[in-house]
Amino acid sequence: MTGQVFRNGAGGRIDRTVPLSFTFDGKNYQGFQGDTLASALLANGVRVVGRSFKYHRPRGILGAGFEEPNALVQLGDGARTEPNTQATRVELFDGLTATSQNRWPSLQFDISAINGLFHRLLPAGFYYKTFMAPANLWMTYEKIIRRAAGMGRAPTQMDPDIYARRFAHCNVLVIGGGPAGVSAALAAGQSGARVILAEDNPQLSVSETELADMDNVTVLTRTMAAAYYDHNTLILSERIADHKPAPAPFETRQRMWKVRAQQVVLATGALERPLVFPNNDRPGVMLASAAQCYAADFAVRAGNQAVVFTNNDSAYGAARDMKAAGIDIAAIIDTRPEISDSTRELATNTKVLTGHAIIDVASGRGGATRGVTLKAIHPDTGAPKGSPIDIACDVVAMSGGWNPTIHLFSQSKGKIKYDGARAAFVPGQSFQQERSIGAANGTFDHEACIIEGHNAGAAAARDVGFDAPDARTSPSGIPPAAQPLWSAPTGAKRFVDFQNDVTADDIGLAYREGYQSVEHLKRYTTLGMGTDQGRTSNVNGLAIMADHRRLDIPEVGTTTFRPPFSPITLGGIAGWHTGQNFEATRQSAMSAWHEAQGATFSNAGLWRRPEYYPRTGMTPAEAVHHEARHVREKVGVVDVSTLGKIDVQGRDALEFLSRVYINNLTKLPVGKCRYGVMLREDGFVFDDGTITRLAEMRFLVTTTTTHAGPVMTHLEYLAQVQWPELDVHLLSVSEDWAGIAIAGPNSRTLLSQLFQDVDFANEAFPFMGYRETNAGGVPVRLFRISFSGEHAYELNVPADYGLNFWTALLETGADLDVIPYGTEAMNILRIEKGHVTGAELNGRVTADDLGFAGMMSKLKPFVGQVLARRDALTAKGRRQLVGLVPADGETPIPAGAQILADPDAPPPEFTPAAILGEVTSNCYSPALGHPIGLGLVEDGSDRHGDTLYAHSPITSETVAITLTNPVFVDPAGGRLHG
Amino acid sequence: MVDLNLSRSALDGVFTQGAFGAAGDPGVTLSERRGGALLDLSTGDIDATRRAIATQFGVDLPTKSGRTATGDACRALWTGPGHWLIKTAPKPNLERAWADAARNSAVNDVTHGRIVLRIKGPSARDILAKGCPLDLHPTAFPTGACAQSLIGKINVTIDCLDADEFDITTGRAYAKSLWAWMTGAAAEYGYRVE
């Protein structure tokens, strides 16, 4: 078969002057501008488009839009390939390539189809039953199931396209560009309200020039409303370039809209239900509305000869349109014993068999439909009776009634209710500022939809203060179309969920095995768990379960609708934030210099900090040790700009800080610093840093790099909520000042050369002193503080000058052998000095645990003071800070190791009580020439000299360690003070 | 010897002038604003501080949230109750001069801690809406409005100077990330860098 033999010469919304070439499974086909992939495949007579998930049965196109469960294809190839795409929603473009899924080695011959022959081995709940003993077999099953399941391939290359997010706000958001939605947008737009109208299709269903002319109305086509969250926040996914071979240069492929709307109008339409009958999944069996859509919108005949199978009136209109497109309607089979005269009039000159049902579908070449078998059915029980009738056909157009598309309504937390007359769930009480209209509200009459839309759009605008057009009167007395639910009571495979291969018998099995709640039914059978979220299957499945349980459908209930309404791309969700843009980074004034020196970087919060500077002829470890040794012997500079800095001012600044820190600060004079510790309310250590008194009523406090944000939040909370009566002003100035620490025996000489007007003599500028000066017109803050344990200073200058001072220090200090050092060496130096950092301040330690008990003032109250006195925080047996050295003087102490008394004890992960503590920090000490560490050990302060064992549960190493004073270098502090 | 007083932008070497992104008329012009001074002013005595500042610096500090006020030589952005960001010309001892005027207040010269980017052009609001969750429609965010918000997850202060002209202030350390975001977001509209 070649060419578009199922395409009519006229009609439809396609542009025959723009022919398009595409391939499906490697074969070339032609379509037209305006086609979907599905309509083009049907035009070319392609009937089988995929294999089913579990049984690998051949499947054809069932629907024409969102509802499609079968025609899932892999689009494109290489970096732009995309799996599980509904062919019914893919706009055709020239050069499109698509391949079918769930088949191996080919669509025509699929090895796994043998599952269909042994389907009794793959019943509902098969997945869960494989969990049963023997348990280890699950591993085997799982691999086979995964491979057989297919479901397309994820791309393995980086996505080359650009995705964007977009925030938007409006007075009225209308979802759905059908007659009701357009009418609502128009009425709201006429009031002057800011309106957004979103429609998934490439164009609105009615062309509306007035709408396009309104500046206050934004019409978004190719835009799906994916989610409806609290506060009328909706997520819309706009496909800007998906209908092109590739986006234009700099063009965004998809835009994810996050819309906050004061009012929402849902005009999301309705989706047709399939009927449940034996072999209802044969290619050629499709929804009547889909066959109608292909005929009317695309001028495509779904086949040559059709049987229409229905339980309601809507399929008669479909039959009329199919006939008009040239499809021979062999018969309309109606399960109802009687139909109205007006309905019968729609089918003039067409054979109508009421009180009949299809009891089987025969398949021919490739599995496609070649005929149906009918029987009369009992009007009450639905049981087939009498003799079978065979009718030849290649299309079965079925209609089981209509489900309003209530997914977004349900996501909005609106209460859905069951409408017996329509045999469908419809919107009930709204939970947010929302209105459902048109078919989404169970209104199926065209004129009534337009009026309902107008009234809802106007009312929504009026509710937010706009002068909206008057309401129109709805034609009254239009009865809802009767749509009784119906499913064949028995027979071969009667599919309910096409995508997940769930049959009516599977639901029966779930019922018999006790999985009767809808939520259990869903998990046990996987009903409704496909990418289509059961759009065609849920209500039929509920009806069958209700029948088994002899309950009404509302009593059975329904599962929860969850976002997204239909799958959206991860690219759209990520937007800009991928790769190096995943998170913002913070860089100091000296970052570019560090990069130019080839430093490696590590992250501290969002900051990027240099770890070490590579040196020719040295390994990374040797370079780090060189830096650390050099600081102890000569002088080094390190970028400490990342430390948190908070400016504290006000008449009550001192009182405020006294309440925040455990230290007594009343005697802190202007021009001096103090090391301070703050606790959380619960008495554990929160953070540490320095407090410097810049002026009588002005302080600068520093925090650790990663705690800068939390400490600022903590202080703001205390100032604003707990003690609003205090006159205190807080401002984070972390980024205003570049910070450089200058450490080592030569640091004083180096600074004396750079700042000649400052007296660096010990008496004039002692340890923990603070001085301000001016260098070359730049204000400079100098602090004599030390993290390394060496004679050291920290220098702060306004950030734009930071790099100048960094280079000036290196140039001035060249004769003194100054070098830059990174965070690795800094860490070694502070471990050697026994200074704690984030590794020790882990949220579980008290000030006493760290040896800071003496700093806790007894003369004033401070945050955490009361709860720090709790028994558990003061009792014997708490883990206290200790130094660790390997007993043999050379074996490295494993990182993160557990500390045990008995090296031969069972693995500590199974005997938590045997763990006496943990290694918190470890390194090789260049100053001492052997490995050292810090740890927290039960009653560690009393155990100096004891030998214990550090056991790593990860590497299984066990190393004998001796506990020591945590200060390894200069315990007397001579270097600091000298 | 290094010139210690050479002021270096956080965006030194990051951008070059010219036209970038989609072809055609650029949707916006992007530039870094250098040479101004920024002060953070916080007070517990709003009335007295407003009187003093109006007398000495000629600007009526706004008291309404999200509003700005422009004086003879400075512009004040409301950033909180009794809290303003002041944009003015740099002067020696600027911080001291304001602190002396606004007694019982805290003043910090934050010129070095922030960077200011200007975005101007017909696509400016569309670009900002790609990363800022606020309602930036001209009716909701008119000329003279200001807001503290996020752009691309980065804290910013947005100052609406004119219908399609905005100054975006952020922390100095975020300068490169914000610049990358701005140029990335502007690429589909085309942009000029000045």
Looking at residue A381, its pLDDT comes to 81
Write down the pLDDT at residue A704: 94
Rounded CA separation A210/A504 (Å): 49
Both tokens assigned to B159:
């100052």
> Alpha-carbon distance A267 to A200, whole Å?
12
Instruction: Please tell me the distance in Å from B63's CA to the nearest CA on chain A.
Output: 18
Q: Which 8-state DSSP code applies to residue A789? A: S
Chain B closest CA to A227's CA: distance in Å?
Answer: 17
Give the model confidence (pLDDT) of A7-17 as tens digits.
999 999 999 99
Alpha-carbon distance B172 to nearest alpha carbon in chain A (angstroms): 6
Q: Give B82-122 pLDDT, tens digit per residue.
A: 999 999 999 989 999 999 999 889 999 999 999 999 999 99
- Inter-chain residue contact A775 with B4, CB threshold 8 Å: yes
Residue of A162, A163, A169, A754 to mutate for B, most B C-beta atoms under 10 A? A169
Q: Does A787 touch chain B (CB under 8 A)?
A: no
Rounded distance between C-alpha atoms, residue A321 and residue A314, angstroms: 11
Could you say which of 3.30.1360.120, 3.30.720.120, 3.40.50.150, 3.30.360.10 is the CATH number of the domain covering B19-34+113-193? 3.30.1360.120
What's the Cα-to-Cα distance from A673 to each of A206, A695, A767, B120, rounded to whole Å?
74, 12, 9, 46
Q: Does A694 touch chain B (CB under 8 A)?
A: no
Confidence band (pLDDT; 50, 70, 90) for A103?
low
Mean pLDDT of A880-897: 96
DSSP, res B47:
H
- In this prediction, residue A380 carries a pLDDT of 81
pLDDT at residue number A1: 42
A327-351 tens-digit pLDDT: 999 999 999 999 999 899 989 899 9
Please say if the pLDDT value at position A86 is more than 50. Answer: yes
Nearest to A627 by CA among A641, A643, A614: A614
In this prediction, residue A126 has a pLDDT band, given cuts at 50, 70 and 90, of: low
3-state secondary structure A623-673: HHHHHHHHHHHCEEEEECCCCEEEEEECCCHHHHHHHHECCCCCCCCCCEE
pLDDT tens digit string along B120-148? 999 999 999 999 999 999 999 999 999 99
Task: Return the axis-axis angle of helices A179-190 and A446-463, rounded to nearest 10°.
Answer: 30
Query: What pLDDT does residue A422 have?
Result: 83
B114–chain A Cβ distance below 8 A for any pair: yes
Say whether domain B37-109 belongs to CATH 3.30.43.10: no
At residue A978 the predicted structure's pLDDT band, cuts being 50, 70 and 90, is confident
Band the pLDDT of A479: cuts 50, 70, 90: low
Helices (H) and strands (E) counted in chain A, each on its own, are 25, 47
Most distant CA pair in chain B, distance: 54
The amino acid occupying position A884 is: L
Q: Of A310, A507, A304, which Cα lies nearest the Cα of A402?
A: A310
| Most B-contacting residue of A163, A167, A254 (CB-CB within 10 A), to test interface | A167
- Domains parsed from chain A with CATH numbers: 1-159 (3.10.20.440), 161-272+402-482+570-582 (3.50.50.60), 275-399 (3.50.50.60), 485-551 (1.10.10.1100), 586-642+735-821 (3.30.1360.120), 644-733 (3.30.70.1400), 877-977 (2.40.30.110)
Chain A: nearest CA to B105, how far in angstroms?
Answer: 7
pLDDT tens digits for range A662-698: 999 999 999 999 999 999 999 999 999 999 999 999 9
- CB-based contact, A595 to chain B, within 8 Å: no
Count the neighbouring beta carbons within 10 Å of the beta carbon of residue A814.
10
Contact A167 B104 (CB under 8 A): no
Please report the DSSP string for A453-470 in residue order: HHHHHHHHHHHTT--PPP
Please give the Cα distance from A685 to A687 (Å, whole number): 6
Contact flag A801-B4 (C-beta cutoff 8 Å): yes
A134 pLDDT exceeds 60?
Answer: no
How far, in Å, CA of B10 to CA of B174, rounded? 9
A482-522 confidence digits (pLDDT tens): 556 678 877 889 999 999 899 999 999 999 999 999 899 99
| Best residue in B2, B33, B100, B132 for a mutation probing chain A (most A CBs within 10 Å) | B2
**pLDDT tops 90 at residue A904:** no
| H or E element at residue B126 | helix B124-128
- Using the Cβ of A579 and the Cβ atoms of chain B, whether some distance falls under 8 Å is answered with no
Cβ-in-10-Å burial (0-12, 13-18, 19+) of A415 comes to exposed
- Is A168 in Cβ contact with B5 (below 8 Å)? no
List of chain B residues whose C-beta atoms are within 8 Å of the C-beta of residue A649: 42, 106
- Substitution target from B85, B125, B130, B189 for chain A, most A beta carbons within 10 A: B130
**8 Å CB contact between A788 and B16:** no
- CA pair distance A307, A275, nearest whole angstrom: 13
Q: Is B26 on the interface with A (CB under 8 A)?
A: no
Count CB neighbours of A215 within 10 A.
8
Per-residue pLDDT, averaged over A725-744, amounts to: 98
Higher pLDDT among residues A423 and A726, named by residue:
A726
Chain B within 8 Å of A649 (Cβ-Cβ)?
yes
- Taking 90 as the threshold, does the pLDDT of residue A143 lie above it? no
The burial of A283, by beta-carbon neighbours within 10 Å (0-12 exposed, 13-18 middle, 19 or more buried), is given as buried
Distance CA B112, CA A885 (A): 45
State residue A111's pLDDT score: 52
Please state, in angstroms and rounded to a whole number, the distance separating the CA atoms of residues A337 and A353.
9
- Buried b / exposed e over A594-623, threshold 16 CB at 10 Å, is beeeebebeebbbbbbbbbbeeeeeeeeeb
Distance CA A716, CA A246 (A): 50
- Domain locations in chain B as residue ranges: 19-34+113-193, 37-109
Q: How many CB atoms lie within 10 A of CB A401?
A: 26
Owner of token pair 């039914």: A521
Backbone torsions φ then ψ of A461, nearest 5 degrees: -65, -40
Whether B104 has its CB under 8 Å from any CB of chain A: the answer is yes
Q: How confident is the model at residue A560 (pLDDT cuts 50, 70, 90)?
A: confident
What is residue A718's DSSP assignment?
Answer: I
